[in-house]
């Protein structure tokens, strides 16, 4: 079977280089028994890819058992995967086969593998390495001969670093990794896939699709598609059913797009019908900010994220990582009528604008900005440092305390390692 035939048979549509690489890798590894890890966002077609691998493998005449690990309650997942004996727990009225037993000789697809509990990960590792397992309530060892395909929409290595996933199981699963590209990274495929879906649904619902305008076509391409191919298919079906025999223009299409444009920065931003981000200048914004609310909203979203990170750092790091001697110079509590969330832009004594809480006294001196600050210099009087300075200071102190160990520093600060790495880059602390 060639690439085009495989794509048509399993719906792996597209002519982009990214999807062709996926199909080529499927054809390359399908005939083997090698373990495969599929990584991609929701809606990118991980289940379709797993079916394609199984269907052209030497196991195609045996079962393909699909398991959504994230949908099974933790209390019964072991029984679901490995089976149980009669009377092994309350409600176990009969013996029961597990998914690995049912998949014997075939393929098991473990979707959302990152959501598997740690105690089950140990048992999965044993099955992957030796094919051996025990039913719940039994001491008799059973064996199974299955090909394992796992899938996740998370960064599995990051889950390992955060202690949520076993490193040995990660290496056992990550024998061959297939990364499924999000639809926004293969924009040339959007319109052809959309047309294919529309044709299929028009035939199914005995409807007529009269096409769409150039502006609607550009909107299809620029939209970010957070739900990827699954969302595109859903939009195509809605248009065929709800906009029957209507010509689709930009306004009509916009009603069905619930996410954001490709260049947006927040998932619930509306699609902007005015200037593109490239065409919007600072002069345009300053002269008529009300005409471009998206920029204001975007700034507020980013500010909210930074404030949330800083709150976590202050709460966890200042009072758990510093000694009592170091925090003795903390300022007195603010009056009750002071709102700690009242963050605004104010002008200091040097005539410079800064984001922070307005001080009741003089602004923070900046002559010593180049010197490494201490906790006393930050909280020695009633002045409040800007968010950026406080955040940078806390990160420096955490790294100094843990001698550059970023994992320990992120734990002390109460943020993820990913957030810490982003802040290190932001403040040029690499």
pLDDT of residue 368: 43
Interior/surface letters 304-332, b for 16+ CB within 10 angstroms, e for the rest: eeeeebbeebeebbbeebeeeeeeeeeee
Q: Which residues of the chain have pLDDT under 50?
A: 262-292, 294-295, 297-298, 301, 317-347, 349, 353-372
In DSSP terms, 77 is beta-bridged to none
Report the C-alpha gap between 355 and 350 in whole angstroms.
14
Give dist(CA 223, CA 386) in Å, integer. 36
- Predicted pLDDT at 420: 79
Contacts of 355 (CB under 8 A, 6+ apart): 303, 343, 344, 345, 386, 387, 388
Structure pTM? 0.60
Can you give the pLDDT at residue 316?
53
Q: How do residues 75-128 score in pLDDT, each as one tens digit?
A: 899 999 999 998 888 778 888 999 999 999 999 999 999 999 999 999 999 999
Kindly list the structural domains of the chain, giving each domain's residue range(s) and its CATH number in brackets, ordered by start: 3-181 (3.40.50.300), 184-273 (1.10.8.60), 298-337+363-426 (no CATH)
pLDDT tens by residue, 375-390: 555 555 556 667 777 8
74: closest CA among 124, 135, 134, 115?
115
The pLDDT of residue 308 is: 57
Q: At what angle do helices 3-10 and 17-29 cross, to 10 degrees?
A: 100
144 close to 100: Cβ distance less than 8 angstroms: yes
pLDDT of residue 340: 43
Helix/strand/coil (H, E, C) string of the chain? CCHHHHHHHHCCCCCCHHHHHHHHHHHHHCCCCCCEEEECCCCCCHHHHHHHHHHCCCCCCCCEEEEEHHHCCCCCHHHHHHCECCCCCCCCCCCECCHHHHCCCCEEEEECHHHCCHHHHHHHHHHHHHCEEECECCCCEEECCCEEEEEECCCHHHHHHCCCCCHHHHHHHCCEEEECCCHHHCHHHHHHHHHHHHHHHHHHCCCCCCCECHHHHHHHHHECCCCHHHHHHHHHHHHHHHCCCCCECHHHHHCCCCCCECCCCCCCCCCCCCCCCCCCCHHHHHHCHHHCHHHHHHHHHHHHHHHHHHHHHHHHHHHHHCCCCCCCCCCCCCCCCCCCCCCEEEECCCCCEEEECCCCCCCCCCCCCCCCCCHHHHCCCCCCCCHHHHHHHHHHHHHHHCCCCHHHHHHHHCCCHHHHHHHHHHCCCC
Q: Give me 201's structure tokens.
A: 């649904």
In whole angstroms, give the CA distance from residue 208 to residue 227: 26
Q: Give me Rg for the CA atoms of the chain.
A: 28
CA–CA gap between residue 75 and residue 117 (Å, rounded): 10
How high is the pLDDT of residue 306?
Answer: 56
Are 356 and 386 within 8 A, CB to CB?
A: yes
Contacts 24+ apart (CB under 8 A), 294-303: 294/264, 294/269, 294/270, 297/266, 297/269, 298/264, 298/265, 298/266, 298/269, 301/265, 301/266, 302/265, 303/343, 303/355
The predicted pLDDT at position 140 comes to 92
- How far is residue 198's CA from residue 78's CA, in Å, rounded to a whole number? 42
């Amino acid at each position: 079977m060639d690439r085009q035939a495989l794509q048509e048979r399993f719906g792996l549509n597209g002519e982009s280089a990214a999807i062709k690489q996926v199909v080529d890798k499927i054809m390359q590894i399908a005939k083997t028994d090698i373990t495969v890890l599929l990584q991609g966002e929701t809606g990118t077609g991980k289940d379709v890819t797993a079916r394609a691998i199984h269907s052209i493998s030497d196991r195609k005449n045996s079962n393909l058992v699909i398991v959504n690990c994230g949908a099974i309650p933790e209390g019964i997942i072991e029984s679901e995967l490995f089976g149980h004996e009669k009377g092994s727990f309350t409600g176990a009225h009969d013996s029961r086969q597990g998914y690995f037993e049912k998949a014997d000789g075939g393929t098991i697809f473990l979707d959302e593998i990152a959501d598997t509990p740690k105690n089950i990960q140990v048992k999965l590792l044993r099955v992957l390495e030796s094919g051996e397992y025990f039913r719940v309530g039994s001491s008799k060892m059973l064996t199974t001969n299955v090909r394992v395909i796992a899938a996740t929409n998370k960064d599995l290595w990051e889950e390992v670093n955060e202690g949520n996933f076993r490193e040995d199981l990660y290496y056992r699963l990550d024998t061959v990794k297939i990364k499924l590209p999000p639809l926004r990274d293969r924009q040339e495929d959007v319109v052809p896939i959309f047309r294919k879906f529309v044709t299929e649904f028009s035939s199914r619902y005995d409807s007529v699709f009269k096409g769409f305008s150039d502006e609607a076509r550009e909107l299809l391409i620029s939209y970010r598609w957070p739900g990827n191919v699954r969302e595109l298919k859903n939009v195509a079906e809605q248009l065929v059913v709800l906009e029957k025999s209507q010509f689709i223009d930009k306004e009509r299409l916009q009603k069905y797009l619930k996410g954001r444009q490709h260049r947006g920065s927040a998932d619930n931003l509306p699609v902007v019908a005015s200037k593109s981000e490239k065409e919007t200048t600072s002069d345009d914004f300053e002269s008529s900010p009300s005409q471009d609310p998206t920029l204001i909203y975007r700034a507020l979203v980013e500010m909210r994220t930074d404030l949330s990170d800083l709150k976590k750092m202050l709460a966890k790091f200042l009072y758990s990582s510093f000694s009592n001697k170091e925090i003795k110079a903390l300022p007195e509590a603010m009056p009750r009528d002071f709102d700690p969330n009242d963050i605004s832009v104010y002008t200091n004594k040097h005539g410079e604008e800064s984001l922070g809480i307005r001080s009741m006294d003089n602004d923070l001196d900046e002559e010593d900005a180049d010197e490494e600050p201490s906790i006393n210099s930050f909280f020695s009087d009633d002045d409040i440092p800007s968010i950026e300075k406080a955040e940078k200071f806390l990160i420096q102190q955490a790294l100094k305390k843990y001698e550059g160990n970023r994992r320990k520093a992120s734990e002390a600060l109460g943020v993820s390692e990913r957030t810490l790495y982003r802040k290190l880059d932001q403040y040029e602390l690499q």
